[in-house]
Amino acid sequence: MKVSLFGATGNLGRECLDQCLQAGHDMTVLVRSPEKLPDGLRDAITVIKGDGLIAADVARSIPSGTDAILFAVGVDERTSPPDLCTDVTRHILAVMRKQQRLKLVWCGGGSNIRVDDVMTFGARFVRWFSETFLRHRHADKEHQLNLLDENADLCWMGVRPLQMKSGIKRGEYRLGYNAFSGLSSISFADCAHAMVEMLNDDTWLGRVPIVQY
């Protein structure tokens, strides 16, 4: 499968990249600083130097014949521009309009509540905490999700992790609209595993389940 990856130099993106290569996928990545990728890794993939906020760079990173797109762009509360994820996604969706067979698998956030979620005290706490202390990240992911809802006719799905942390890939976790709390967590490796598995599975088409242990 030919896959384009956004956010390849971050913790989640590197896991997505490594696992895609292990699965035999043909990878194209868009990065602002290719030198952040190890030399050996750069030789195994197609690297496009550019910026996800520039529509032309995004289009170059999703060449004709691409099967799927993985979105693992992270938001830094202090340095990321407003609506980073939303604006990059808008450019991706424009390409998807032209290449109808594309699938997008993206990573959202657990504070962005869906109608199917189990609304426990823990879920309300996660949302309150994010709205209060992670306002930049929460708002961007909320806007990104609203944008995707507006484009429900396209082929997209995703995951909403809670606390992401370093750790091994277990391959065992809960994926669905299960109850969660501020203590819920998932490793970058297993969040990536859930996303990579979605490349060949349409179970969650148009939906964004919580991923957690």
Query: Is 158 a member of any domain?
Result: yes
CATH of the domain at 167: 3.40.50.720
Query: Is 124 a member of any domain?
Result: yes
Closest alpha carbon to 9 in 54, 93, 76, 87: 76
Over range 54-72, report the average pLDDT.
98
Written as six digits, the tokens of 140 are 């961007």
Domain count, the chain: 1
**Cα separation, 58 vs 90, whole angstroms:** 10
Least confident of 2-6, 8-12, 38-42, 138-142: 38-42
Query: Is 211 a member of any domain?
Result: no
Query: Is 32 a member of any domain?
Result: yes
Between residues 39 and 146, the one the model is more confident about: 146
Any bridge partners for residue 36, and if so which? none
Query: Is 213 a member of any domain?
Result: no
Residue 208 per-residue DSSP state: -
Between residues 43 and 31, the one the model is more confident about: 31
Residue-wise pLDDT tens digits, 172-196: 999 999 999 999 999 999 999 999 9
Written as six digits, the tokens of 135 are 């306002």
- The predicted structure's pLDDT at residue 24: 97
Which domain does 82 fall in, by range?
A: 2-205
- The predicted structure's pLDDT at residue 184: 96
Query: Is 102 a member of any domain?
Result: yes
**Run of H or E residues at 205:** none
- The predicted structure's pLDDT at residue 100: 82
Query: Is 212 a member of any domain?
Result: no
Query: Is 78 a member of any domain?
Result: yes
- The predicted structure's pLDDT at residue 89: 98
The confidence band for 40, taking pLDDT boundaries of 50, 70 and 90, is confident
The confidence band for 39, taking pLDDT boundaries of 50, 70 and 90, is confident
